[in-house]
Structure 1
């Protein structure tokens, strides 16, 4: 009988009362109505069992309740439960509709007798699914999965984790770090688009709205294995940072501006300086800083600063920080929760009704959430579950690595190595659904209409888990794969410097003729053979080659000494409009004061050319803050009278909007 839509449950029949009532009615001591009323039984039920007693012809009636019809035995259901566990751990879990379809295929393959509706719909019934979920409620539940990228799911494998722990163990053996000397830093987004919490609303209404706003910044934080933290660094999506943006931020916080709102090489160097200021490491008392492999972290100026200050830099393998980074495991989750709660309270407060949350309130919201989330208990738990402190390289089990089994395949050149054998991979290639039978060694199950030697086809054989195809052989390797490495070690630093020099040489403008080609070739060779220490030192005259425009714009003070600008020098100046920033090459005529220069602007010969010509003789005032960098002395483009008027500066300005 299907379940009642009103939720009314049928009352269970008392076996003893039913047998006594049948006996009394048969002996004519009570009528059917009296017996049903006295023993609290349904009259049709008592009549039905009286008929059954007459058919059996027994003097003493024994009530034997019918066993509910079952499709699968306990062993078969446990195999199905285990399959659902494995699919969820591999991040390819099944929906309720897919589970019903799998149950139907499972029953057909094992020759089970099913309800006719299963055959019509090609899936199990809803009632079977309800009973199945109720029976295994302590092992299965309906969950909303968290979106996980394929890169994270496949990069977190045993090999990559072992490489990190090998580097981590070598660092611990070398320096004997204490918990208060092991730090972890990372950035997290702080957006004005918050996630509204659950609210009480009218029942039956399908959609309930919640006020949000729309800007995004970044916060860089650092914690150590003793449960301590330093004030964060905030990155605001603005060209220029103003001090009032930090109103309400945690005490000691610093801020910078970047139109994208994200971190870059220069901002990370500024964070490293902030880190050194609060932690105070030294070469005699070094500290360990764990961080991810983002390109903004892996840069030569930051590594040089770390080596000078006594900081050992160790990176995680790319796309594994969600499992191995203490900040991600124990701190950033509570921080986002409290941050959204603080922002929701601000939005619904009477004084802020109808007002959008701007980027200038972000620091204040973070100031409320920071002390509630960056607690010693949360920080210590993050280091513990990631296996860093206390050191536990076996913290992750086979279940944690199941998601990587999807792409657990051999390299194309490694033909002898085979992927791990699973039940699904035992099928022959000619028959993708061929079965490797799992025999019931304990004998036949009493619920199965089978003889001894019954064969159970497991769900994994019927519906194999996803498996990626073999890797394709590619001869065009454009980018080296990242890995966990100790950046402050000399071999790693030299390798990184060599890769940067090669990238810088490739970014040189393409020559238009043979003479230009020879000049570019010699200049490229000069870069490749240049001294490492002079090449990447801050400040450096060669650092402008191949460097991103964001680095130049937001690290202006580190590029050169402004006091060294004299009459006759050439500079690159910026003019900030409402929406865009333009750059111009200017010749310094005189120095009026320490902050003001009198200049003449040069014209670009053509929009795509690297040549400049002197324009009109008008003089303009240029403020010190508008100078981006000091250019080297120009050279003439040729020997003819026309080419002698064309000036070349020997630098790549393609990353600037030069007019």
Structure 2
């Protein structure tokens, strides 16, 4: 066999020479140009390695290593193991991690612990890992049919998409098994506050503003603070908060840390099962949507030729909400889902039949394809005794 002939001069420099060149530049005895000529190393490579040492990304003694080996790991082995255990624990609770979720989590950990890193600061994400793979979601109709099975899809990965067009407003709502309703929180698609948007909204309603109109991690943290004040949990009397799999709910470290501190246990509904298991979906969202649609239709009849805008959302939603938010509706929602009173046999066999045709897990979360201007996100809360709450999303 013939000898291999190198086709490039890339990284043909001597490691010891690179180390000496880096040292001379760092000590100020030479500039980049002189050091590169004296020690026979590429100037651009020398500049890059000196910058990494100055930023604390690599140590001086590691600055001359070739290839990718000179990159210092961001996390220690113990930290990596802790991260792995956290991900496995979350997955066991049906808080599935996508690749983007994992990269965002790694960035948050490095940032909060002041660890040197080369992660993308603008996107607030770490780099990709060669051993991590994404799984592609399947259509909603099949997902719902297969998702509501007896094992409830433990290995599914959460993924939420939406088909709304135009202006939308998100409203976070929460109800309890005893019939209590937490004041809603609106997210208006604006960059600046406008208090009058809450005129005639349900009593106690609060508002946040984001150009997208969607829930954001920092906004959900604010809602979670309100939730703690409303439910008054403690480690002696913990509260169970049931959520859908949206990333702002389940991949939010600040919320997770605060939940552990305050005595709130976070639990995610299995993917594709909220139409059966989410009390708000089962008993509250349908009448709320009906009342809201009626209010919209009535308003448009009274104002021909004018579309509904965010200026009318607070009043229209407020009227519909006050009609739908009854004690009986909340109690029935928890009863029909078997959450409270606890009834594991609440669902008859025929409800599981669509899943029997495939009898396999799928890799998608519910893809809601609503058409309205309003989105209401939801979660469910339960104490260790009787009190239960639920929170969801209308489109």
Relative to the length of structure 2, the TM-score reads 0.52
Partner of 2:336: 385
* Cα distance per residue 1:207-233 (max 9 Å; x no partner): xxxxxxx53211111111111111011
Q: How far apart, in 2, do the equivalents of 1:315 and 1:308 lie?
A: 19
Task: Work out the CA distance in 1 between the residues paired with 2:274 and 2:188.
Answer: 24
1:227 to 179, 185, 198: 179
2:241 pairs with 278, 285, 289, which one?
289
CA deviation digits over 1:167-217, x for unaligned, max 9?
xxxxxxxxxxxxxxxxxxxx9x9x9x9xxxxxxxxxxxxxxxxxxxx5321
| Superposed displacement of residue 290, structure 1 | 1.1
Shift of 1:373: 0.7
User: Which residue of 2 is the match for residue 158 of structure 1?
Assistant: 150
Residue 368, structure 1, aligned to residue 319, structure 2: yes
In structure 2, runs of 5+ residues without a counterpart are: 1-138, 367-395
Aligned-pair CA distance for 1:480: 11
Output aligned runs, 1:614-633, within 5 Å.
Answer: none
The aligned counterpart of 2:309 is 358
In structure 1, C-alpha distance between the alignment counterparts of 2:324 and 2:359, rounded to whole Å? 37
Give matches, 1:260-279, under 5 Å: 260-279=212-231
Asked if 1:344 is matched to 2:336, the reply is: no
1:156 and 1:283 map into 2 onto residues whose CA distance is 33
Query: How is 1:48-87 mapped onto 2 (pairs within 5 angstroms)?
Result: none
Query: CA–CA distance in 1 between the matches of 2:149 and 2:342?
Result: 19
Query: What secondary structure, in the 3-state scheme, does the structure 1 residue paired with 2:151 have?
Result: helix
Q: Which residue of 2 aligns with 1:250?
A: 202
CA distance in 1, matches of 2:284, 2:332: 9
Q: Secondary structure at the match of 1:296?
A: helix
Structure 1 residues 364 and 158: CA distance shift in structure 2, 3 A: same
Contact kept in structure 1, 2:145 and 2:355, CA below 8 Å: yes
* Worse-matched range after superposition: 392-401 or 259-268: 259-268
Q: Give the CA deviation at 1:280.
A: 2.3
Q: What are the within-5 Å matches in structure 2 for residues 134-533 of structure 1?
A: 149-160=141-152, 215-298=167-250, 299-349=252-302, 352-409=303-360
Correspondence list, 1:86-101, <5 A: none
For residues 278 and 157 of structure 1, the distance between their equivalents in structure 2, rounded to whole angstroms, comes to 34
Give the superposition deviation at 1:382: 0.8
Task: Assess if the C-alpha contact under 8 Å between 2:201 and 2:318 holds in 1.
Answer: yes
Q: Do 2:143 and 2:364's aligned partners in 1 also have CA atoms closer than 8 Å?
A: no
Q: How far is 1:260 from its partner?
A: 2.0
The separation in 1 between residues aligned to 2:307 and 2:244, in whole angstroms, is 34
Which string of whole-angstrom CA distances, capped at 9 and with x for unpartnered residues, describes residues 442-479 of structure 1? xxxxxxxxxxxxxxxxxxxxxxxxxxxxx9xxxxxxx9
Alpha-carbon shift at residue 307 of structure 1 (Å)? 1.8
- What SS is found at the alignment partner of 2:207? strand
1:37-90 Cα shifts (integer Å, max 9, x gaps): xxxxxxxxxxxxxxxxxxxxxxxxxxxxxxxxxxxxxxxxxxxxxxxxxxxxxx
CA distance in 2, matches of 1:408, 1:355: 49
Q: 1:151 to 1:255 in 2, by over 3 A?
A: same
Q: CA RMSD in A?
A: 2.9
Work out the number of aligned pairs and report it: 221
Deviation, structure 1 residue 319: 1.8
Displacement, 1:330? 0.3
Q: CA deviation at 1:259?
A: 2.0
CA distance in 2 between counterparts of 1:229 and 1:339 reads 18
- Could you tell me how far 1:148 is from its partner in structure 2? 5.5
Deviations, residues 537-588 of structure 1 (Å, cap 9, x unaligned): xxxxxxxxxxxxxxxxxxxxxxxxxxxxxxxxxxxxxxxxxxxxxxxxxxxx
Once the two structures are TM-superposed, the CA of residue 313 in structure 1 deviates from its matched residue by 1.2
Q: Report SS of the residue matched to 1:401.
A: helix
Compared with structure 1, are the counterparts of its residues 258 and 370 closer, same or farther at alpha carbon in structure 2 (3 Å cutoff)?
same
What CA distance in whole angstroms lies between the structure 2 residues aligned with 1:337 and 1:480? 28
Task: Classify the secondary structure of the residue corresponding to 2:182.
Answer: coil
Bigger relative contact order, structure 1 or 2 (CA pairs below 8 A, ≥6 apart) = 2
Larger radius of gyration: 1
For 1:215, what is the secondary structure of its paired residue?
coil
TM-aligned CA distance change 1:240 to 1:403, over 3 Å: farther
